[in-house]
Structure 1
């Protein structure tokens, strides 16, 4: 009986051991679900969501703090760098005398405190007159520099007044000038006893980079017609020689029966007529007749001349600013001319059969004696 009981209790114990793990397992489950109040609070769904939010916020906050810290570090680094390299600019403006802009402005940028590297532009038609607000370094605030220019002068216009018949300059050369591009108009100067018959060159236009010449041709008011001619005449009587038609009589004249060449004829308003015999020498168109060119001598009555060697010096005495003709021999061909006041050396005197005396100029032609003042010994 006792043995049976022992066996029964062993069986029951065995059964209990088999059941216990199941009970403990459920208890562990309960405990795992509800270990204590704080653990229970953490394990609720709401608290799980809040916990996730908190963790996310903490993470985001941490990231934000890191970002702000990085930005602060970058800003500090920029400020530290910028404090040494602050940029500014200078505007260069180009104006003329009338405050008109002659070119677009230049803008130069640089670091404050550094020198400005600037090259003045080349405006070919202008020159610099002044600089306003001049600066040579970049400042903390932007600056504006104004450069003022003036237009250059164009090259001048030269005005000449010539006697078209004699080639004489009637008036000193006039010069007019003005700014490049400025317009001009040239009028012929008024000269007493002369009238303008023509002009050569631009009498109106604009000043530019070239010199222009304007020539006004004048003729004496009382000269009606001027004709270039070329023929020979034979003088019937002796003729006085003049420095111009109706002008001053020269010291010597021409003998009768001489054959001379005529180069021009002028008819005056008083109906008189004058003939040019070369240079500034004129005779009246009277007491003469047309002639063939001379074959040997211009004067058929001259048969001989006498030559006497001499060693003299003198000065040509004619008309101021005018020249006399130099001939190859008495009454011969013109080979040269000598202006009034020229110095000459005389190698011989020549006398013709009309008692006219000529001076031989060191073998370089002859001139009439009356046109030379011989130096006194």
Structure 2
């Protein structure tokens, strides 16, 4: 039996004994270097696993932000002026960081257009900058002047065009036309150029035409009459026969006292050896005398004609000649008449009248 117990103990594995911790007794020994076990060479057939190394992860913290230094401030002054360096609006003052874009736009100024720029910049390139924006004033609409023969409606010259800048004032004077004098004007001769076009019409009358009457009458010819293209003008070479009746449109009195009849268009004949009547079926007779009623007008004046010459006066407006007065002679005006042609006549005697165009009034003192 003893043999079999020994054999069983040899075959069966021995039970593992748990280690029992023993107290460690510290004893002082001389410092002896530890004995390193011999390193056996690794045979090629053997595989060696790399040792496991436990590492601690390294966490990189972001740097603590520091306050950025403020960028230097730049100032740009923008002046808005006209072509004469006069300010149109208060200057623009624009600020911002140096070397950064300048964000602004040039303003629209009514009546002006941008012309040029001095010192233009897109960035703040220096701490202080100056830009000058120059505007030019726009042109206003033109003022067209027409020179017209008042009696014939004929255009005497090509229209005159006057231009100027918006808002600027203008003053027009009637142009000189040889052989004519200004009779009246229509339209604004003074004002400012605006965005609206304007028209001025100057009406002229021939220098040799003293008075003009537009009538609806007839004339009976007592003799053959030559026909002219204008009073004292060119003879057409044919005649209107005696004892014929013709329609009248105008009666012209020249400065020499002669009277001429207009028969329509450019057909004129002398009033000598004729009789006028109001109806073509009536007997030839002179028209009844017109009654004039001058309004009271007490003023002093002088004859304003041509130095060294005399002007005719009449028994009534468009009437017969009553004599002549020299240039510069004193006038005692007692009445005034404005006829249907808008012509003014001054009464200087019971039966004496002068055209107001040849009279200069003495200024009256204002109280």
**TM-score bucket (shorter structure):** 0.5 to 0.7
Equivalent residue of 2:158, what SS?
strand
- What CA distance in whole angstroms lies between the structure 2 residues aligned with 1:294 and 1:119? 83
Partner of 1:182 in structure 2? 168
Tell me whether 1:233 sits opposite 2:219 in the alignment. yes
How many equivalent residue pairs? 219
Query: Hey, what's the Cα distance between the residues in 2 that align with 1:200 and 1:262?
Result: 28
Kept in 2: contact 1:116–1:138 (CA 8 A): yes
More off after superposition, 105-114 vs 223-232: 105-114
Contact 2:148/2:204 (8 A) holds in 1: yes
**SS of residue paired to 1:169:** coil
User: Do the aligned residues in 1 keep the contact of 2:228 with 2:235 (CA within 8 Å)?
Assistant: yes
> In the aligned structure 1, how far is the partner of 2:124 from the partner of 2:227?
85
> Deviation at 1:268?
0.9
- CA distance in 2 between counterparts of 1:213 and 1:237 reads 47
Residues 235-272 of structure 1: CA distance to partner in whole angstroms, max 9, x if unpaired?
33333222211112225443344332111100112221
Counterpart selection for 1:77 from 48, 52, 67:
67
Q: Distance in 1 between matches of 2:148 and 2:67?
A: 85
Q: Supply the distance in 2 between the matched residues of 1:251 and 1:169 (Cα, whole angstroms).
A: 27
Q: Could you say which residue in structure 1 is the equivalent of 2:280?
A: 293
Structure-1 separation of matches of 2:98 and 2:115 = 28
For the residues of structure 2 that align with 1:261 and 1:250, how far apart are their CA atoms? Answer: 19
Say if 1:259 and 1:294, in contact at 8 Å, map to a contact too.
no
Deviates more, 1:204-213 or 1:124-133: 204-213
Output the CA distance in 1 between the equivalents of 2:76 and 2:271. Answer: 84
Give the C-alpha shift of residue 194 in structure 1: 1.7
How many Å apart are 1:230 and its aligned residue?
Answer: 0.5
- C-alpha distance in 2 between matches for 1:245 and 1:270: 12
Q: CA deviation at 1:87?
A: 5.2
Distance 2:210 2:266 in 1: 19
Q: Deviations over 1:48-90 (max 9, x none)?
A: xxxxxxxxxxxxxxxxxxxxxxxxx67x3323xx56xx65443
1:106 is aligned to 92
- Cα shift readout 1:154-182 (whole Å, capped 9, x = no counterpart): 32332222221111222332223223332
In the other structure, the counterpart of 1:149 is 135
Instruction: Kindly indicate whether the alpha-carbon contact (under 8 Å) linking 2:73 and 2:127 is maintained by their aligned counterparts in 1.
Output: no
Mean CA deviation greater in 243-252 or 220-229: 243-252
Pair 1:207 & 2:197 matched = no
CA root-mean-square deviation: 2.7
Note if 1:266 corresponds to 2:252: yes
| Separation of aligned partners in 2, 1:280 and 1:111 | 83
- Secondary structure in 2 matching 1:247: coil
SS for the counterpart of 2:156 is strand
Question: Any idea what SS the aligned residue of 2:85 has?
Answer: coil
1:164 matched to which residue of 2? 150
Write the distance in 2 (CA, Å) between the matches of 1:216 and 1:145: 49
Q: Which runs of 5+ in 1 are unaligned?
A: 1-72, 296-377
Deviations 1:261-317 (A, max 9, x none): 11110011222111111122212213333353369xxxxxxxxxxxxxxxxxxxxxx
* Contact preservation (8 Å) 1:166, 1:280: no
1:139 matches 2:129: no
- Within 5 Å, which residues of 2 pair with 1:213-362? 213-250=199-236, 252-291=238-277, 292-293=279-280
In structure 1, what is the Cα distance between the partners aligned to 2:112 and 2:76? 23
Specify which of 171, 184, 193 is matched with residue 198 of structure 1. 184
Once the two structures are superposed, what CA deviation does each residue of 1:20-44 show, in whole Å capped at 9, x if it has no partner?
xxxxxxxxxxxxxxxxxxxxxxxxx
Name the one with the larger helix percent: 1
3-state SS of paired residue (2:157): strand
Once residues 82 and 218 of structure 2 are traced to their aligned partners in structure 1, the CA distance between those partners, rounded to angstroms, is 68
Distance apart, 1:113 and its partner CA: 4.5
For residues 197 and 235 of structure 2, the distance between their equivalents in structure 1, rounded to whole angstroms, comes to 41
Is 1:117 matched up with 2:103? Answer: yes
Measure, in 2, the Cα distance between the counterparts of 1:259 and 1:294.
10
